Amino acid sequence: MHELSGSLDGAVFEPGEAGFTEELAGFNLAVSHSPDLVVAVASTADVVAAVLYAARHGMAVRVQATGHGSEEPITDGLVISTKRLNGVTVDANAGVATIGAGARWGAVVAAAAPFGLAPITGSSPDVGVVGYLMGGGLGPLARSHGFSSDYLLGATVVTAAGDVVEATPDSEPELFWALRGGKGGLGVVVGVRVRLVAIPELYAGSLTFAAANVEAVLRGWIDWTAAAPDDVTTSVLVAKFPDLPFLPPHLRGRFLLTLRFAYAGSAREGERLAAPLRALAPVETDALGTMALTDVAQIHADPTDPAPGWGWGALLTPIDQDFATVFGDLFNPTASIPFLAIEIRHLGGRTKVDVDGGSAVGGRDAAFAIHVIGAPDPTLFAEVLPRAAAGFADAIGAWIAPKTTINYAHHFETRDDFARAWPDATFARLEKVRQTVDPHGVIAYGAG
């Protein structure tokens, strides 16, 4: 039995032991981890014990909740698995949710909705609240409500020294500033408190257009975004579905554009705002209308089942008709580029406005975010997809913003890579915070 086992509320898994592989399984099936030890924590005391054990034995600490950020295999050190810390409570009077480090956004949406309240989530209910929030977080209401980390009120953190601290604007202002978008290397978050918003009405969903109309809709949407109201958030997903039996028949072998739309207001006003988009071309599937708060996952309809995944992402400056031409030349029904889909999200509005006191999130200047989803074939992940994505990035280089935001970063390894995820002054300040809270680099500082 491992020396930590007897003293934990949770469990310890060593390589080869039953439960080791299952505990580490994440969303990306192309990545399997083989650390030296997994501590499946069930309390704050467990996190402290795990961090102190790792520090004593010179082991790097990494944290996994859902594995949605997994891109590279972990081959050493100690992994803290937080999925048992999945409690969510809502104080409806205060409009605050208290959320454990292992909870997913779907659980918060479900707990808040009966009170007419909602968290400012990402597109997928399966993504972990804490990993997502620590990277800022751009969701379906980004333009009307800003980055999700703008709603962070406080976090309970175990530092690299094993101290338990409450990070709030008053008690640990630098750490609190850093947790709002500064991502890794800041400690192990045990739980967070998040401000909920009242959303009495939501007009949201998607419009899907067939291949023959993809170019016209992309061009029309780009023009429309130039004067789009700040309280409407839209995005497009252009997807090229393989002709494979596991897909539903209406998607198999098809090239489609899905335009997502979200407006936190009345159906009448939502319909008026969406009318120019509905008029861009004949709509094949109209799934846009009044939406229950518990259905927000349907806006993007992200995949829910774990699968092999490879992605590339960037932030963009304003795009135009020349961008649409380059995009259409590279990604069309007959193009050979090995991408399953390309998503472009419209940013701006509240994403440009920092919170009082400031925050570490990168990407406030960006106009759009782009995300490429590679063909889900792991034999392409090492060379073919990186080369194809590099070629695509070159082709749209004129519109790529010099900086990105860490939740959109993929395959980052070096300090120079990470420096691109924040404005220079923010990155320098983050490095100082990391140096203060973790001078010996116990908590690994990864992307994802």
Distance CA 359, CA 176 (A): 8
Question: Do the beta carbons of residue 203 and residue 291 sit within 8 Å?
Answer: yes
Instruction: Specify the DSSP class assigned to residue 18.
Output: T
Q: Give the gyration radius of the chain's Cα atoms.
A: 22
Site string for ligand FAD, 108-127 (x = CB under 6 A): --------------xxx--x
Select 240 or 260, whichever has its Cβ closest to ligand FAD: 260
Nearer to ligand FAD, 327 or 412 (CB): 412
Give the one residue of 233, 351, 407, 426 binding ligand FAD; rule: CB under 6 A: 407
Closest distance of CB 55 from ligand FAD, Å? 16
3-state secondary structure of 339: strand
Binding status of residue 78 toward ligand FAD by CB under 6 A? no
Per rule CB under 6 A, count of chain residues that contact ligand FAD: 33
- Angstrom distance (rounded) from CA 63 to CA 49: 14
Identify which range of 58-66, 228-236, 245-253, 428-436 contacts ligand FAD by CB under 6 A.
Answer: 58-66
Instruction: Please identify which residue in 10, 35, 119, 139 interacts with ligand FAD, judged by CB under 6 A.
Output: 139
From 62-70, 112-120, 251-259, 355-363, give the range in contact with ligand FAD by CB under 6 A. Answer: 62-70
| 258, containing H or E segment | strand 255-263
Name the token pair of 313.
């992402």
Per-residue mark of binding to ligand FAD, 327-346 (x: CB under 6 A):
--------------------
194 CB contacts (<8 Å, ≥6 apart)?
96, 97, 99, 108, 119, 129, 133, 151, 152, 153
Is the Cβ of residue 60 or residue 281 nearer to ligand FAD in the bound state?
60
Phi, psi dihedrals of residue 46, rounded to the nearest 5°: -60, -40
| CB-neighbour burial class of residue 82 (10 A; exposed 0-12, middle 13-18, buried 19+) | buried
Q: Residue 182 or 270: which CB sits closer to ligand FAD?
A: 182
What gap in Å lies between CA 237 and CA 232, rounded to an integer?
17
- Residue partners of 59: CB distance under 8 A and separation at least 6: 36, 37, 53, 76, 77, 78
Pairing of strands 339-346, 232-240: antiparallel
Residues 266-325 that bind ligand FAD (CB under 6 A): 302
Residues in 191-250 that interact with ligand FAD by CB under 6 A: none
For residue 289, list its beta bridge partners. Answer: 204
Contact window for ligand FAD (CB under 6 A) among 66-74, 290-298, 316-324, 336-344: 66-74
Residue 154 interacts with ligand FAD (CB under 6 A): yes or no: no
Q: Is 138 in the site for ligand FAD (CB under 6 A)?
A: yes
* Contacting ligand FAD within 175-194 (CB under 6 A): 183-184, 188-189
Smallest gap from Cβ 64 to ligand FAD, in A, equals 4
> What is the C-alpha separation between 55 and 399, in angstroms, rounded?
44
Residues that bind ligand FAD (CB under 6 A): 26-27, 63-70, 82, 101, 122-124, 127-128, 130-132, 134-135, 137-139, 183-184, 188-189, 302, 407, 446, 448
